[in-house]
Every structure is written in structure tokens, then in C-alpha cells.
Amino acid sequence: MKPDIIRIAQATFTVSSLEASKEFYVDLLGMNLLHEENDALYLRGVEDREWTLKLEKCGDGEVPRVRHLGYRVRCGECLESLVELAEKQGLPYRWEEELDRPKMLRLQDPFGIPVAFYHEVKTYPWLLQEYHQHRGPGLQRVDHCNVRVPDVKATLDWYGQELGFRLSEYTVDEAGDYWAAWIQRRGGVHDFALTNGAGPCLHHWAYWMPDAMSIIKTCDILAGARQPERIERGPGRHGVSNAFFLYIRDPDGHRIELYTSDYVTVDPDFEPIKWLRDDPRRQTLWGAKTPRSWFEEASPMEAFDGGIQPAQEGKLTGIPVHVI
């Protein structure tokens, strides 16, 4: 049986200061603080019924990193089939217990990405219509992750064949090799995006926003707080996914995307959309150039036995188009 993965559902980052992270994520972005214990903050958007981002204090001298990316699966048997897959392919795995998630399977995929899977979770009433409790620009729900990987095609093939991910959009270079891919389980454009480059590293973690104005309001809030340097790219309109977007950097440099207005991909005859790497409309329909930091910087990922997963160079080379 193939594991039935529902969607990307949570991530755990380590951070150097819980105080600075709380100011950024709770005071400025208005995320709901569901728990504050175990030297960690457990955050969610107003539509999330469980925590979707855990920020854990990292050890002294440790580099802030991504501990894992988490997916919710349909059933307990799905976890067993993931164990079978890990054993068959020799992937390291272990069971972990997490706050509100009593049984979580953590494994390392063949590309070194730390992933966690769970079925059981304690949920909480959502805040979607508790408008009087909304704070900041109104982050709504977890949307997707974007990981930089050395071999996009191999990663895409494994997630498709073994975990049943479906392709919604992809970019090829001049030679026809896969430069980037957007894959999904949930029926949106993506739960998981793959981009060519040194990795594995987390490029960004994204929240869905109710509308474009809430994204613009984020810029106003960060400017009002005298922290415009947190705004890295956008707001703008992506060609890929059609999303209205903004990229911001947290106090440790973890990149968060605020994202809205993509489309559904559930029809059985949906044809994946192909882009050429040198098409400037791919990155932004409006033609705005992308800062170099957006291509060059990303969060390291934790190795299975601790420490940082060593990054390998991207298989494809080339200068990204439209860089300022």
C-alpha cells in the first residue's frame, strides 16, 4: 500500500532567540501562540486547527536550522507503509513523540531532507471567524514548503513514485533538464516545491493569506516597526502558480513566504504547466528583478543523527535570470 499523504502540515525550525522570534512571529506577524513550553513556541494561522510552526531554541553556538518538514497522513497504516519503504530503501527512521502529536515517524529521504509524518494530532478550535482575535496582517493557514535540492528530477521522481505527489508546474533549462518543480497532494498548486541548487536546504516556508491587501499590510507593519530590512522580495505576482507573494526573513534568516490567489489542480485531466528557465514571466509577471540573496541564501537542514546535513552542489549550473 502506498502511504496516503494528505498535505504539508508543519515544520520545526531552531532559532537563536525565542524572544526575538516571538516579537517577529507573534507581535508583528500576528501568529497565534498555541503553546509556549519546552523552550519552544508553537504557532498557527487563524485557519489552522493545530500548530503548524514550532520554533525551538537552538543550543549555544549551534547554527539555526530546519529540524524537519512534517506531513499529515490519512491513517495509521500509512505510517507503517512508510516504515516498510524506509526499510526497503535503507532510509534512516525513528519514532518520535511531539507535543499534540503522540506518534510521529521521522525519516530522512534519499536526498537528505528530514521529513516527519503523523496521523494523530490534537486539534483546537480554529480562529477563522473569531475576527476579534485576529492580529497583525492575518496569516491564515500553512500552504507549502520550498526546498533547494541538487537533483530536482531525481527528487521529483521519488516523491511521485513513492509518495504519490502530482506535478502541477515545472521549469526546464535550455537543455531540457528540470530546473524546478511544484508538486502537490492537496489539490492546490503545491505542498512542496523543488528548486535546483546546493542542498538540501529550506528555501522558504509559506503561509496562505486571505488577500493581497493583507500581504501589503505586512509590509506596512514591518516598516512601521522600523524593520523594512525583513522584506526581501515583493510584493509581486509570480508567473509560476499565479500567486501574489511576499518573501520576508525572520531574525535568524529563515525565509517565510506570504502567498495568496493560486488555483486548484484536482481535475484528472489537469496538464502540468511547463516554463522555460529564461522566461522572465516565470518569476514575476510584473518584471521586477529578484535580489541575489533570494537565490543564494537558504536555511540548513538537520542531519538524521544531529548536526547539519552537508549540502551538495546543484547538478545544473547557470546564472539565474533577472537578478539585481
State the residues that interact with Fe ion by CB under 5 A. 146, 206, 257
Picking from 154, 149, 142, 255, the residue whose alpha carbon sits closest to that of residue 195 is 149
Contacts of residue 107, defined as CB under 8 A and 6 or more positions apart, other chains included, come to: 82, 86, 91, 92, 93, 94, 114, 115, 116, 117
62: its cell numbers: 549551534
What minimum distance in Å lies between the beta carbon of 204 and Fe ion?
6
Q: How far is the CB of 202 from Fe ion (least distance, A)?
A: 11
- Find the shortest distance in angstroms from Cβ 298 to Fe ion: 12
Beta carbon nearer to Fe ion, 46 or 189? 189
Q: How far is the CB of 247 from Fe ion (least distance, A)?
A: 8
Residue placing its CB nearer to Fe ion in the complex, 93 or 295: 295
Residue nearer to Fe ion on the CB measure, 105 or 193: 193
User: Which residues, including other chains, have CB under 8 Å from residue 289's CB and lie 6 or more apart?
Assistant: 322, 323, 324
CB of 209: closest distance to Fe ion in angstroms?
12
The nearer residue to Fe ion, 48 or 169, going by C-beta atoms, is 169
- Amino acid identity, residue 56? E
121/260 with CB nearer Fe ion = 260
- Cell numbers for 303, please give them: 542531519
3-state SS class at 202: strand
**Would the CA dihedral through 145, 150, 156, 158 be positive or negative?**
negative
Q: Which H helix or E strand runs over 149?
A: strand 141-149
Nearer to Fe ion, 22 or 203 (CB): 203
- Secondary structure E strands in 150-279: 166-172, 178-184, 192-196, 201-208, 231-237, 244-249, 255-260, 273-276
Answer yes or no: are the C-beta atoms of 152 and 196 closer than 8 Å: yes
Residue 107: name the closest of 87, 123, 126, 125 by CA: 87
Among residues 161, 220, 165, 226, which one has the least CA distance to residue 190?
165
> Would you say 147 and 192 are in contact if contact means Cβ atoms under 8 Å apart?
yes
| Sequence-separated (6 or more) residues with CB below 8 Å from residue 294 | 232, 233, 247, 255
Which CB sits closer to Fe ion, 206 or 311? Answer: 206
Q: Which is nearer to Fe ion, 252 or 257 (CB)?
A: 257
CB of 206 to Fe ion, least distance (A): 5
Q: Cβ of residue 238: shortest distance to Fe ion, in angstroms?
A: 8
Run of H or E residues at 96:
strand 93-98
- In terms of CB distance, is 32 or 283 closer to Fe ion? 283
Residue 50 corresponds to which cell in the numbers above? 493545530
The least distance separating Fe ion from the CB of residue 117, rounded to whole angstroms, comes to 22
The CB-of-205 to Fe ion minimum distance in angstroms stands at 9
